[in-house]
């Protein structure tokens, strides 16, 4: 019979070093570093691939990306309410100035954003497939053109001043980041896609 005292009266808990708070934090930090490293590699590969594209293709993708992202992130329209007369104080409090996103503005705003996203998605699909369809260039130009056209219709329908009763006037202005920049991007994408079609004809 072995009567020697236990050399380790306090054995480590189940799981060993893994269950210590320091070990968990170190493992989480290492996992985060690996994720960051993989993300950097992916971004570097994407940038390298983008640099290999033709200038017209870059303009098309950047233009539609700007048209989509800016119109989603920023407001496309700002509405300023001006009131004069006896009831001006009451109406100013009841009708504060506000802004409108592309999806809240009208169906034209929604179509402009969706068409821009469709053009990018179509280009990616066509680039990944081995067989290049003959109708794709026309569809790419159509998506960009539809986006630009819907931005134009949106400006024509919502821009300007609207007069009302009791001395009220509303000024509807198109924003720089939410409208003019996306509109310019959609026009640029349309121009380069049409030029490519004309060159290949």
Residue with more model confidence, 9 or 71? 71
Q: What is the mean pLDDT of residues 149-154?
A: 94
In a domain, 38, yes or no: yes
Measured torsion, CA atoms of residues 37, 52, 112, 145, in degrees rounded to the nearest 10: 180
Same domain, 175 and 104: yes
Residues spanned by the domain of 189:
55-200
Within a domain: 1: no
Is 3 domain-assigned?
no
Shared-domain flag, residues 28 and 61? no
Q: Is the pLDDT of residue 90 over 60?
A: no
Does residue 119 share a domain with residue 75? yes
Does residue 60 sit in the same domain as residue 27? no
How buried is 89 (Cβ within 10 angstroms: 0-12 exposed, 13-18 middle, 19+ buried)? exposed
86 with 17, same domain: the answer is no
**pTM over cut 0.75:** no
pLDDT for residue 171: 80
In a domain, 4, yes or no: no
Residue 51 vs residues 46, 58, 127, 129, 185: alpha-carbon distances, Å = 9, 8, 15, 20, 19
Confidence at 148, pLDDT banded by 50, 70, 90: very high
In a domain? residue 163? yes
- What's the whole-number mean pLDDT along residues 102-109? 84
Q: 85 and 184: one domain? A: yes
pLDDT for res 48: 67
Q: Phi and psi for 155 in degrees, rounded to 5?
A: -65, -40
Tally of structural domains, the chain: 2
Residues 45 and 74 in one domain: no
């Amino acid at each position: 019979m072995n009567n020697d005292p236990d050399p380790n009266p306090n054995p480590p808990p189940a799981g060993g070093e893994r269950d210590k708070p320091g070990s968990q934090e170190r493992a989480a930090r290492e996992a985060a570093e690996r994720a960051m490293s993989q993300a950097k590699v992916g971004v570097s590969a994407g940038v390298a691939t983008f640099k290999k594209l033709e200038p017209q293709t870059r303009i098309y993708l950047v233009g539609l990306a700007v048209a989509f992202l800016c119109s989603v992130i920023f407001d496309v329209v700002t509405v300023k309410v001006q009131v004069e007369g006896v009831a001006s104080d009451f109406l100013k409090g009841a009708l504060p100035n506000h802004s409108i996103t592309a999806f809240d503005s009208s169906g034209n705003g929604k179509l402009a954003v969706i068409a821009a996203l469709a053009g990018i998605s179509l280009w990616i699909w066509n680039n990944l497939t081995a067989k290049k369809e003959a109708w794709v260039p026309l569809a790419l130009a159509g998506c960009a053109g539809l986006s630009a056209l819907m931005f134009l219709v949106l400006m024509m329908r919502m821009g300007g001043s609207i007069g009302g009763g009791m001395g009220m006037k509303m000024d509807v202005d198109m924003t720089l980041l939410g409208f003019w920049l996306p509109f310019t991007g959609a026009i640029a994408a349309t121009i380069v896609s049409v030029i490519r079609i004309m060159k290949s004809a």
